[in-house]
Amino acid sequence: MKGYLVLSTGEIFEGEWFGSAADCTGEVVFNTGMTGYQEVLSDPSYAGQIITFTYPLIGNYGINERDYESLKPACKGLIVGDLCEMPSHYESGHSLAEIATNYGIGVLSGIDTRAITQIVRTEGEVYGLLTTDRAKLDSFKPQPIGKVVPGVSVKEAQTYNEDAAGPHIALIDFGYKKSILTNLLNGGCKVTVMPYSVTYNEIVALNPDGIFLSNGPGDPKDLTPQLGELKQIVENYPTMGICLGHQLISLMFGCDTERLPYGHRGSNHPVKNVITGKVYLTSQNHGYVVKPESLAVSPLELTFVNVNDKSVEGVRHKTLPISSVQFHPEAHAGPDDTNHLFADFIRQCQATGEKSYA
């Protein structure tokens, strides 16, 4: 079946359609990873977006039951150069096309994804329509997607590893990846996942040893109404934030955020620890970033910087046990160079808990 992509910049692409035949619209973004399409597909941070894979061959090792990052994909659609319909891997249970059909996602194949990437890099914020109806191409009116976190956050508390001997972590869910939860559980923690709208009183009743602010989709300023409660929470517990969680921590302490020209989405982004000078390769997926000049008027200090564009990649509070990073130390997909940050956070929670109970 023929399918079409029309961009808000006016370009039209024609290719082969797979998956759900329903139209979809969303922000068009690109991911530069050579592998990890299953993790990308199921990452809630892509809610409301149409993902373009720059690597030409996608789907060649299929889809397994182990590498999902959420219960169901939140992205709107996929654009690929060459979709493999006959994957080969001992763990593969389905093809990418089959999974797209099962979850109602449209996939357009046979597209020059490098051309789309160049458009997004040049124009910045680009929206698209995926459709099988050519008659709809001329009438497409782009609509920015806003306030997507409520659609990917849990609706009620969920507790894991109830009898763990380690610290109890409250994971505030803005669209968390399963790998974050896995790292905390592997570190011996009891974890309670809480909705994004959690209040300070609810956290106090939970009596955790630490707070974890997850990744998630969208503009961090969409969550401005939550910042007051979140600030009260993190000021009273050891806290770590990732991606959107990092941006929210920065906002609540007086920093500002801005949209990147075309985002960081891929598995090989170098970041530098400004304290040690060591460089790490990281997995990233974000379209917004903390303004570096705004750190000067806040109680936060820079810990990591992006080697390529010098953007803020990590901060920590000057007096409280609060730290955050823009990149993904849990990886999946991507390198786990910075996985030690989970162990550092867990040790901080243990140390603080021991002082509290002494």
Q: Domain-by-domain residue ranges, the chain?
A: 2-139, 154-357
Is pLDDT above 90 for 354?
no
Q: What is the mean pLDDT of residues 69-85?
A: 96
Beta bridge partners of 324: 241, 315
Within 13 Å of residue 71, how many CA atoms lie on the same side as its CB?
Answer: 5
pLDDT classification of 302: cutoffs 50, 70, 90:
very high
What's the rounded Cα separation, in Å, for the pair 115 and 263?
17
Is the pLDDT score of 353 beyond 70? no
Into which CATH architecture does domain 154-357 fall?
3-Layer(aba) Sandwich (3.40)
Identified catalytic residue from 168, 269, 286, 328: 328
Is 243 catalytic? The answer is yes
Q: What is the C-alpha to C-alpha distance for residues 16 and 32, in angstroms, rounded to an integer?
A: 22
Q: Would you say 207 is a known binding-site residue?
A: no
- Inter-CA distances, 204 with 5, 45, 208, Å: 49, 28, 8
Can 2-139 and 154-357 be said to share one CATH topology?
A: no
Residues above pLDDT 90, as percent of the chain: 95
pTM: 0.96
pLDDT band for position 352 (50/70/90)? confident
Would the annotation count 216 as a binding residue? Answer: yes
Number of alpha carbons in the 13 Å side-chain half-sphere of residue 92: 19
Q: Is the pLDDT of residue 200 over 70?
A: yes
244 is in an annotated binding site: yes
Burial (CB count <10 Å: 0-12, 13-18, 19+), residue 225: exposed
Give residue for tokens 């590498």: 67
Is 330 labeled as catalytic in the residue annotation? yes
Q: What is the mean predicted confidence (pLDDT) over 20-40?
A: 95
Q: Which residues are 316's β-sheet partners?
A: 301, 323
Q: How confident is the model at residue 358 (pLDDT cuts 50, 70, 90)?
A: very low
pLDDT given for residue 63 in this prediction: 97
> 243, 264, 313, 317: which is the annotated catalytic residue?
243
**Residue 143: pLDDT over 90:** no
Answer yes or no: is pLDDT of 355 > 60. no
pLDDT value of position 225: 97
The pLDDT, as a whole number, for residue 344 is 97
> Can you tell me whether residue 230 is helix, strand or coil?
helix
Fold annotation for 2-139? Glucose Oxidase; domain 1 (3.50.30)
Mean pLDDT of the chain: 96
Q: Which two tokens stand for residue 207?
A: 């009596």
Which of 264, 330, 332, 349 is catalytic? The answer is 330
Whether 218 has a binding-site annotation, put simply, is yes
Question: Is 60 exceeded by the pLDDT of residue 13?
Answer: yes
The span from the CA of 68 to the CA of 54, in Å, is 21
What is the average pLDDT across 341-345? 98
As a whole number of angstroms, the distance between CA 161 and CA 185 comes to: 7
183 in a known ligand binding site: no
* Contact status, residue 339 vs residue 327, Cβ threshold 8 Å: no
Quote the pLDDT of residue 357.
39
The answer to whether 91 is a known catalytic residue is no
- The answer to whether 311 and 288 are in contact (CB under 8 A) is no
